[in-house]
Amino acid sequence: MKQDNLIHPPPPVMTAAEAESPESWGFRDTRFAFTEDGVVTMLGNRYELSGKKLARLLPWICEVLQVEVDPRDLHRSSYPTAIPEAIESKPFLEAISVFLQPDQLDRDGEVRLRHGHGQTQEEVFAIKYACLGRIPDLTVHPHSDEQVAKLVEAAKEHNVVLIPFGGGTNVTDALRCPEGERRMIVSADMRRMNRIRWIDKENMMACIEAGAVGRHLVAQLAEHGLTMGHEPDSVEFSTLGGWIATNASGMKKNRYGNIEDLVVDLSVATADGRLAHLNTAPRESIGSDLRRLIFGSEGTLGIITSAVVKLFPLPEVQKYGSIIFPSYEDGYRFMRDMAHAGAIPASVRLVDNLQFQFGQTLKPAAQGLAAWKSRLEKFFVLSVKGFNPGRMVALTLVFEGTRNEVARQQREVYHIAAGHGGMKAGSENGRRGYQLTYSIAYIRDFLLNYYIIAESFETSCAWSDALAIDANVKRILYAEYEKRGLPGKPFITSRITQVYRTGVAIYFYFGFYYKGVENPSQVYLELETIARHEILRWGGSLSHHHGVGKIRRAFLPEIMSQTGLKWKQEIKRGLDPQNIFGAGNQNL
């Protein structure tokens, strides 16, 4: 690789406006709230929904859950809940003070609390209303590979636990500290290692530090006419190192690939030294590729410090689209035929009827000509085309590529859709549906303030199993909810988010009204566990992209042979015999 051809971008500039909330999802300046007249609105100015009044949202929620949600009846947060006293190893602190500056060490209780959790409902409920329990005793902010290596050496020498921290967006309990751990626990926050070290436009690669946040990567690469193409739902806050550690998938994986397809090389600080290759080639056949052990390792084998990734030119054309189908089954069959025809857009997502209705409540009331047009469209869809509002579903599309590629994909996709009763619903609905991904992430924490607990879980499965899994998970959750005599009705919805030639990824959302329910967070976990058993019983995977962490580790014996479990344990013991990377994920 010719060094004189490389581009060296400056580090991203972090501003005060980017401050994140310590107790809820997202930016500190953005949240949903009730107006004085009891209408939901989104505060701030970052998103398309910001400042809009969503008059239909609360009535719809009450109707679906069959409860009355009173904006004045607030379940007030007690954040920050109890913060335990830190355990300290003085010899370790003396050792790291030699190579870390005082501003790289943070003992603040709320900072420690934030580094001890991700974004599961259980963790968020605990920091607001209960107690998280064991948390890191110290947060450190390394600046370089050398500092990370020295940090690992000091942890080995003084028997201290290290837990890597990226964006803190995981939904697997991966950051929760083992309750019985009596050693000092240190959270290694990688976000100061956030530079694009170099861009090689000739070979279409970049070397990027592991703490680089998705939103900065997208913006910086775009300045050079490039993209990595990896956009998970959490792209605004998650990091490159986190994507690798969880084996992540992005919304545009159809065009660019999942994270394992995009990483050419990586560097990891392990308990046994640095794991890396001395050169970077498109492909190698050199025996077992030990770097692949790091994908999905969830912080148990080392700290990822950087990666070399593939790059793509920014697409010549980006177009949005949407299609409505008479039923979920029609939309499913369209997606299957589209995948087998090889005409898959960069992103294609199908939501069920309940989620389609939810999306409609997030549309501000139309005025004037827009309102007249909306009524006309509704009349045409329901009265002329005969779509049933209680069954119809929606699909959003993102096409990217050259002008010819996009035009060809559009022709093929809409032709296949027509064969399944699909009807074009416009580019604006597609654009809006895609962008809503970022703003609706805030709704879960808003509703928690009003006694509604909710979370997502996902799976991947073969085409032949998808409809059965979807139907049976919903059926068993409804039945178990009723059996337990819980309030009202639960909210259970799904969408197909990723398409493969052999199958799909299904994303479920589940929530319920919990006022008067004892320990609602635990009740939710019990119900999700029942749903997960049903998924596995019908042939679904344990996870598609969220990972295992601690929340799903008990299921590993159901999906792995004894030999597989043994190998995982032996790899951990061989590479980290002291359990320095002691997050406790995956039963390790």
Instruction: Report the half-sphere exposure of 378 (CA within 13 A, side-chain side).
Output: 9
8 Å CB contact between 499 and 254 = yes
Q: Does the annotation mark 507 as catalytic?
A: yes
Statement to judge: residues 340 and 435 lie in one domain: yes
Residue in the block written with tokens 């899994």: 469
Distance CA 538, CA 466 (A): 9
Q: 419 and 327 in one domain?
A: yes
CB 311 within 8 A of CB 204: yes
102-121: pLDDT as tens digits:
999 999 999 999 999 999 99
CATH number for position 485: 3.30.300.330
Q: Give the least confident one: 193-207, 360-374, 415-429.
A: 360-374
Q: Look at residue 286 in the predicted model and tell me its pLDDT.
A: 85
Q: Is the pLDDT of residue 377 over 70?
A: no
- Work out the angle between the directed axes of helices 57-65 and 353-361 (0-180°, nearest 10): 150
Q: Which of 507, 513, 514, 524 is catalytic?
A: 507
Helix axis angle, 463-483 to 328-341, nearest 10°? 150
> Are residue 96 and residue 175 in the same domain, yes or no?
yes
- Asked whether residue 419 falls in the same domain as residue 385, the answer is yes
> Domain boundary residue among 440, 457, 491?
440
Residues 220 and 134 in one domain: no
How confident is the model at residue 232, as a pLDDT?
96
Do 112 and 136 touch, CB atoms closer than 8 A?
A: yes
Same domain, residue pair 303 and 200: yes
User: Sorting pLDDT into bands at 50, 70 and 90, what band is 386?
Assistant: confident
- Residue 398 contacts residue 347 (beta carbons within 8 Å): yes
Domain count, the chain: 4
Helix or strand (DSSP H, E) at 458 = strand 452-462
- Per DSSP, the three-state class of 322 is strand
Q: What is the mean pLDDT of residues 557-561?
A: 95
Do 267 and 326 belong together in one domain? no
Q: What are phi and psi of 493, to 5 degrees?
A: -145, 165
Q: What's the burial of 102, exposed, middle or buried (CB within 10 Å: 0-12/13-18/19+)?
A: exposed
Q: How far is CA 421 from CA 325, 408, 520, in A?
A: 6, 20, 42
Average pLDDT, the chain: 95
Q: Is the pLDDT of residue 369 over 60?
A: no
SS3 468: helix
Is residue 542 over pLDDT 80? yes
CATH of the domain at 405: 3.30.70.3450
Domain residue limits at 535? 443-551
Q: What is the pLDDT of residue 394?
A: 96
Considering the domain boundaries, does residue 183 fall inside one? yes
The per-residue DSSP string of 101-169 comes to -GGGEE--HHHHHHTT--S-HHHHHHHHHS---S--SEEE---SHHHHHHHHHHHHHHT-EEEEESSS-
Q: Which of 514, 230, 493, 504 is nearest to 353 (CA)?
A: 493
Is 26 within 8 Å of 20 (Cβ atoms)?
yes
Write the CA distances from 55 to 35, 264, 312, integer angstroms.
10, 48, 42
Q: Domain boundary at 440, 472, 493, which?
A: 440
Same domain, 418 and 457: no
Per-residue pLDDT at 381 exceeds 60: yes
Q: Are residues 265 and 245 in the same domain?
A: yes
pLDDT for residue 376: 57
Mark whether 187 and 225 lie in a shared domain: no
Q: Region 12-24: what's the mean pLDDT?
A: 93
Instruction: Using the 3D structure, point to which of 174, 191, 208 is the last residue of a domain.
Output: 191
CB 175 within 8 A of CB 115: yes
Q: What percent of the chain has pLDDT over 70?
A: 96
* Residue 171, pLDDT score: 97
Give a yes or no: residue 212 inside a domain: yes
In tens, the pLDDT along 215-273 reads 999 999 999 999 999 999 999 999 999 999 999 999 999 999 999 999 999 999 999 99
The answer to whether residues 458 and 544 belong to one domain is yes
Is 389 within the bounds of a domain?
yes
List, for residues 490-515, the tens digit of each pLDDT value: 999 999 999 999 999 999 999 999 99
In a domain, 26, yes or no: no
Predicted confidence (pLDDT) at residue 78 exceeds the cutoff of 60: yes
507 three-class SS:
strand
How high is the pLDDT of residue 349? Answer: 97
Residue 372 is predicted with a pLDDT of 58
Taking 80 as the threshold, does the pLDDT of residue 367 lie above it?
Answer: no
Q: What does the alpha-carbon distance between residue 56 and residue 360 come to, in Å, rounded to a whole number?
A: 9
* Paired tokens of 569: 């344990």
Least confident piece of the model among 62-71, 75-84, 117-126, 374-383: 374-383
CB 360 within 8 A of CB 63: no
Give the whole-number percent of the chain exceeding pLDDT 90.
Answer: 90
Is the domain of 384 the same as that of 461? no
Decide if 429 contacts 322 (C-beta within 8 A). Answer: yes
